[in-house]
Amino acid sequence: MRRWLGRSALCALLCGVVSSGLQAAPAPLDQLPDSAPKLTLIIDDVGQNLAEGRRVIALDGPVALAVLPDTPHAARLARLAHRAGKPVMLHLPMAPATGPYSWSPGLDEATLQSRLQAALGRVPYVEGVNNHMGSRMTERSAPMHSLMQSLQRRHLFFVDSRTTPHTQAAAMAQQTQLASLSRDIFLDDDPRPEAIARQFRSAIALAREQGSVVMIGHPRPSTLRVLERELPKLSAAGIDWVGPQQMIAVRGNRAMPAHGHDGRYARPES
């Protein structure tokens, strides 16, 4: 397994994106670095189960843990992940998700911002945010624009989990010039091991086709078994496993072909 970049190198890469690529149109594909295909893995819904969270942290690579703020082990697992050098993300609930931290239609701006701040207070060492559920919220341009501005002020990145084909979150992140990514593949919508392995192979194929892939899974026993078996094979397969911040630098805030055109995400609805 290749070693992933240290924090200082990641910061230098990301600052380069923020100071150049994010201030203008996305860089043309022929100007992006010519290197091995890159893969980023995010595990959502961390915090409910301590043992499964520890297994995620034990994966040998820069797996990012997206931690739910309203779970019993959120803070502990975030601290353990940070100590192990793993990226920590806030898995921000959005409607139809409910609860005290959920961003939901009808809430005023002050309430949304208060919920974001409270959620961040529950998960230490957060480097970025992605949405938990959110099919009813990420389709709304105005609150997504507000969220991206808030994350920009906090120097946090955003990953659009793409839980609806009509999401406006990635487009708003790009419009706001926020460092961001979009999910390409869900590993375990079908929790059967053979289905997860098939999705993992699809992720590898997509990484080779378009140069990079961002995949999201969950800390289920079946998913973890597949990952524990397959992730150590990435280096021999010629795939670089990188954290979200390095992937942001690699992609230069560009939309992949499935998510937009000429590097731009689908335009938000007026």
DSSP SS3 for 22: helix
Alpha-carbon distances, residue 12 vs 225, 246, 254, 267 (angstroms): 34, 10, 19, 30
Q: How does pLDDT run across 178-203, given as a tens digit for each residue?
A: 999 999 999 999 999 999 999 999 99
Residue 269's pLDDT band (cuts 50, 70, 90): low
Q: Cα separation of 265 and 108, whole Å? A: 27
Q: Cα separation of 103 and 97, whole Å? A: 8
Average pLDDT value over all residues in the chain = 90
Residue 17's pLDDT band (cuts 50, 70, 90): very low
Structure tokens at 4: 């992933």
The pTM of the whole model exceeds 0.85: yes
Q: Are 128 and 89 in contact (CB under 8 A)?
A: yes
Angle at 106 between CA 101 and CA 109, to 5 degrees: 65
Q: Cα separation of 109 and 80, whole Å? A: 33
- Asked whether the bond before 96 is cis by omega within 30 degrees of 0, the reply is yes
Place of tokens 């931690």: 67
Structure tokens at 122: 């529950």
- Residue 212 has a pLDDT of 98
Structure tokens at 255: 């939309």
Is the pLDDT reported for residue 26 higher than 60? no
DSSP SS3 for 87: coil
Q: Who has greater pLDDT, 208 or 2?
A: 208
**Ordered structural domains, the chain, with CATH:** 35-255 (3.20.20.370)
- Residue 39 has a pLDDT of 98
Contacts of 11 by beta carbon, 8 Å cutoff, 6+ apart: 245
Q: What are the helix (H) ranges across the chain?
A: 7-19, 50-58, 74-83, 109-122, 141-154, 169-175, 193-210, 221-230, 244-251
* CB-CB neighbours of 109 under 10 Å: 11
